Structure 1
């Protein structure tokens, strides 16, 4: 029987065998960080292939991250049922390709941006970066420039941007001090600030505010092994997230960038440090500006030396830019349908991406393979692309399909991540610091108390504050002092100007909701 994982040989078994199909097809772990593609029409078996690869990486001691866009990957946490409805089909397939059906469960950690079906996933605006946040909100170049200015000022003034309200406070101040900032940083249009504010409101409505805050996700908590040495399978609940595709794509790009920035260089390890699967990969590139696509290509190329294996899952290879597709050395192509002229052209292009096999026509094979079959090309020794083969993908060892909500909840409660990420933190950051500066500026601008003022009003005991004028006291309250209208001089520091401006705004619009916003750290080297 073929071993699913052979660490001595450095291979994981994908499938093969059977009449008209290839001999066992093994993915070389050493070349798994040359990345991969899983493609095929709906219902052809992409999700099963994804689950099979995740199992194999976990058995090899490689942590995995994948998004569950349909809610049916959670079954990897439970062993497959030898008496289930697919027992005969799985047993037949296993015998045909020469493997033992050793059903087993895998260690799983569930994550969810909303914190409903998994542990909350949070990051800070400062970590996400202006390029990703601008794309997330669909900002123009001019609006992205204003976002950069807001973050630049925050950095210079030591104002931590940890959540949405922090960025709200920064954008309010940028709008109030547009003229002063334009002299130092270039044109700051209040119209651009207003557009960002509206985009932030839309983002908040999509649930984007849940993404920003603390405690922020630490990558080490995803890159864990269980007691048996299996890699942790991290599953992001994305059924709800898929209703906000731009948020979904931006989050995955941010996570990939964090891996790139934080992991050390390891060259070509014997096996990856982590395997990362992008399901519905076309969402990463839909309406993406050329600069962002170029950065994704750059990261995909360079993250190989960090030991990260990237896998893109989409219906058609044409969904990915050529520059990114060229980085994917391992390919599993499920069936494509060619009903229209456009489909036929895409099929021919897909077939041209493979090293030909004289035994069959690749384009015809891509149309002919059934559910659970694929046309595969895996890297061989020295990274040479393997000859295209028709392959029967092995059946999964874990349950195929979702698990019960009660079982998911029990797994979440038992996870050590529950205590770490379950409760949100709100430490002092930009919003609190700016509010404090505004109070100080307001106090400094108030006129001094008049000599001889009566204690009833000048001392203002706490129980008297906010009371209406009482004629029985015969002492009218002092009218509120009007804030100074003197503009900040050119010698004022940014911090002083900031405090005075925000004080003016707070004095005139008490209780007004601040606008929400974001910035970050991915692609600083733009």
Structure 2
């Protein structure tokens, strides 16, 4: 006699050992186990509706599965095999967050999340799903902004300076080993202390080239632990990286991540959609860029503790790319960021195929789980399935059988209750998104991008004086300290000349733009502020907004 649990899940075909008692009108009452599960999701405060409980192969629409809104900053995981409905789950959650006034960030790897801005199209499948789960479905679009890394793709360009990106994240992009990563950190420290601001790739390449040249070898010897050979490896990696067309991602104007925290005039949260389909062949770059965005938000946001609603919920698609071949320092930084950013009011959801794609230290920080179907065609698949089952709380389901039998748009759910305790495991038939399930027409997307108030702020790249230009002064035989001193002296002299001109200038615009203070601030970030740069998680630069 087997002690294996029965599977009261989707399509299991398992029959209860005894008939369920009848409810009102002769309809079968919920079994005791189903009643206990449903009671675990009966929250008193605001919550997002995920779907209806599945029990013994039946969808029970009166047993609604929900997630408390205040618990969305406790992070989460959306996992499942390809084609099981993960993207639609993201869309469903993002819509309801926006409706509750919470801004959302979506990494759109496949290019099919732009539809969140347009009303959905009702059809027989949508009507059938809505009826099954007692959903009052209404076609609706949500306020959205569209972005693209470095302007590669259709969206407002998102750029970062090399200085703020930092050595740890850049080392992952360049695939440097631990020794080379530490050496790159020394190079950043040298540039910071010498006032050589690193805005774009050519700036960093110029600094490394200077340190490996005959002129700069004396400076190289003063940087502890940095060898000429290692600096040469870093220089070659940078040159190859730039040759692959990566220069567009770094530069100015640098994107202000506080743009992601906006709400629309009607109070709904703005959904920020970052298009990544144009850079799918560079997964290491875009996954690392996502961590820069997260680290930058972490630096800027104040501590708020537990809040009634999150300030922002961040969805990282293809999350396994963050962790592939990552150094221990990088993994430690991710773990710390995920653990600490909750108190800043930010939730992070990792989206991937199996929980084993996420390191255990990170997985342990994720309080909300939506697990779509898994496949078990190979021994490795079977092993992954067993590992996934072990990550769930005890339940009356046979999860191994259930997870391989779920249909598209069905998932196993467990979240944190309002008390912060895990809810019972619930097989769930998920609701249908109310926005368009697919990309919007390209012309409509182009119009949305160019009509945005942010487009004029970030569309045009700016190349101002920075490390590359200042190192050109080495042709005059000046060392780095002399170059910085000369630059500062020139700025002070220019300030006096422009002040004299300004007294005779009647244009208010020219008085401001041509003022010594404005130009000096714009040009001397590296020389005056660069020496005071501090770095924190991921080695990213801390900046004041």
TM range (shorter): 0.7 to 0.9
Q: Is 1:90 aligned with 2:126?
A: yes
In structure 2, how many angstroms separate the alpha carbons of the residues matched to 1:7 and 1:125?
46
Q: Is 1:41 aligned with 2:81?
A: yes
Residue 236 of structure 2 corresponds to 198
2:284 is paired with a residue of what secondary structure? helix
Mapping 1:117-196, distance limit 5 Å: 117-176=154-213, 177=215, 179-196=217-234
Listed one character per residue, the Cα deviations across residues 63-118 of structure 1 (whole Å, up to 9, x for unaligned) are 11111111111111110123xxxx11111111121121111101111111141300
* Alignment check: 8 A CA contact 1:136 1:246 kept: yes
1:243 is paired with a residue of what secondary structure? coil
Residue 382 of structure 1 corresponds to 419
Give 1:494 shift: 4.8
Residues 179 and 431 of structure 1, relative CA distance in 2, 3 Å threshold: closer
Give 1:197 shift: 2.0
Normalising by structure 1, report the TM-score: 0.81
Listed one character per residue, the Cα deviations across residues 411-450 of structure 1 (whole Å, up to 9, x for unaligned) are 0111111110111112222222222x335437xxxxxxxx
Residue 57 of structure 1 corresponds to 97
C-alpha RMSD of matched pairs (Å): 2.3
Q: Which runs of 5+ in 2 are unaligned?
A: 1-41, 487-533
Instruction: State which of 382, 399, 415 in structure 2 corresponds to 1:344.
Output: 382
* Alignment check: 8 A CA contact 2:130 2:136 kept: yes
Residue 106 of structure 2 corresponds to 66
Q: Is 1:237 aligned with 2:275?
A: yes
2:388 is paired with a residue of what secondary structure? helix
Residue 503 of structure 2 corresponds to none
2:343 is paired with a residue of what secondary structure? helix
2:273 is paired with a residue of what secondary structure? strand
Residue 478 of structure 1 corresponds to none
Normalising by structure 2, report the TM-score: 0.78
In structure 1, how many angstroms separate the alpha carbons of the residues matched to 2:400 and 2:85?
18
In structure 2, how many angstroms separate the alpha carbons of the residues matched to 1:62 and 1:227?
13
Q: Is 1:24 aligned with 2:64?
A: yes
Give 1:525 shift: 9.3
Give 1:355 shift: 1.8
Give 1:8 shift: 8.3
Residues 441 and 205 of structure 1, relative CA distance in 2, 3 Å threshold: closer
**Bigger Cα displacement from structure 2, 6-15 vs 101-110:** 6-15
Mapping 1:91-106, distance limit 5 Å: 91-106=127-142
1:338 is paired with a residue of what secondary structure? coil
In structure 2, how many angstroms separate the alpha carbons of the residues matched to 1:434 and 1:308?
41
Residue 400 of structure 1 corresponds to 437
Larger radius of gyration: 1
1:145 is paired with a residue of what secondary structure? helix
Give 1:498 shift: 9.4
Residues 306 and 498 of structure 1, relative CA distance in 2, 3 Å threshold: closer
Q: Which runs of 5+ in 1 are unaligned?
A: 1-5, 443-492, 501-518
**Bigger Cα displacement from structure 2, 275-284 vs 374-383:** 374-383
In structure 2, how many angstroms separate the alpha carbons of the residues matched to 1:345 and 1:288?
23
